Amino acid sequence: MTHRAVLAIALPIVISNISTPLLGLADTAVMGRMGDPKYIGAVALGALIFTMVYWTFGFLRMGTTGLTAQAAGAEDGEEIRAALGRALLIAGAIGVGLIALQWPIRAIAFGLLDGGEEVEALAHVYYDIRIWSAPFALANYALTGWFIGLERAGLALVLQVVLNTVNIALDVLFALGLGWGVQGIAAGTLIAEVTAALAGLAIASRVLRLHPGVWTRARLLDAARLARTIAVNRDIMIRTIVLLLSFAWFTAKSAEAGTVTLAVNSILLQFVTVSAFFLDGFALSAETLVGKATGALDRMSFDLAAKLSTLWAGGISLLLTLAIFVFGGAAIDFLTIDAEVRAGGRIYLFWAAMLPVLSVWCYQLDGIFIGATRSSEMRNAALASSAMFLVLWWLFLPYGNHGLWAALAGFNLTRALSLGFYFPRLRRGLA
């Protein structure tokens, strides 16, 4: 276990994360040339629905990483195959389920979002086309998690590059070249997600040659292993939904505070999101290396994986905090020309700057627990942290937006403390 092993996983993930916003930027740029802001709004609204729905099933990436890393640590080639097979079966089943339930999902989603009549009509068109890519989009989550679990993060990056490149090229061809507008953006994304999934399967078939073993129906559908996979994924899904609801509460309370406060918090949250792009790479290093050590029942490697990945993450978090303090004001001015929002951004910049160094610990512990597939503890920690978030929000109401940001910081610290409570027991389990 070396620093190089940590960086070999973290750096491709960081690059992949940074490239992801290019898709939204490309969609916005293409729609921006259509001459009416309703096109931008329609694509943004439609994409938001899929982001929320798909991220609910983010366990297909996280759970697959931990299970695959453990199989690799145990040098069990058949289980490495089965981990991918089970994840793809679950992805396919959920994807087909989403297609079958597309009309009630659409009704609920658009009932919760208000984009105006023209925007929503176009967003419906986007939704009705892109929903057919659901099994492939979720398969990409499973494939990405599997590659990372095998310490092949570079292949996960290749998959993201294929997705982004095909999507951007087809955006331009369909929406501008052929004049298909919103339909073109949706069709381009659908084809890109299908292409990436097929490319991922082709790459996976070659990677499997490096791991001795055969496909067996008995192993793939083994009741105990399948039940464990479902339990791990169920708990991660509950944890993800709880976290999403907490951030939705933050956004809702920002909106209640007024248009300026909402704009300020939205801009500052962009700094937090970009910081997470960097820190997520080291959390994924922890997932993979801890998972491998867990599979091998190697406490020394477990300790080293946790230590090295956290050292890097902690150091990067300090640099990110410093960067936001130094460059945050200029970044706010770049993102808005409104004088009131600029002034408000500077007032609350402290919180956005401090969040990387306050949040890195919960990110890392998430990675460690995912690698060890101790998802029930993650579920419990998320529930406890969200409850604490609501308590802190209520206690800090007199402090306005400062209180809201303090509650968010307390939320992430509570996530770290609650997972830290379980950590000694996790480590003892490797004896």
Query: pTM of the entire structure?
Result: 0.83
User: What is the pLDDT at residue 73?
Assistant: 87
User: What is the pLDDT at residue 53?
Assistant: 84
Q: Which two tokens stand for residue 198?
A: 């097929």
User: What is the pLDDT at residue 119?
Assistant: 72
| Calpha distance 34→177 (Å, rounded) | 12
User: What is the pLDDT at residue 168?
Assistant: 86
User: What is the pLDDT at residue 420?
Assistant: 93
| Calpha distance 411→383 (Å, rounded) | 11
Q: Which of 383, 280, 289 is nearest to 15 (CA)?
A: 280
Residue type, 342: R
User: What is the pLDDT at residue 142?
Assistant: 93
DSSP string, 130-196: HGGGHHHHHHHHHHHHHHHHTT-HHHHHHHHHHHHHHHHHHIIIIIIIS--THHHHHHHHHHHHHHH
Q: Which of 412, 409, 269, 253 is nearest to 349 (CA)?
A: 269
Q: What is the pLDDT of residues 158-175, one digit of tens each?
A: 998 898 889 889 988 988
Low-confidence ranges of the chain (pLDDT < 70): 1, 19-38, 40-41, 113-116, 431
Q: Which of 252, 238, 167, 201 is nearest to 88 (CA)?
A: 201
User: What is the pLDDT at residue 37?
Assistant: 62
User: What is the pLDDT at residue 335?
Assistant: 72
| Calpha distance 126→121 (Å, rounded) | 9
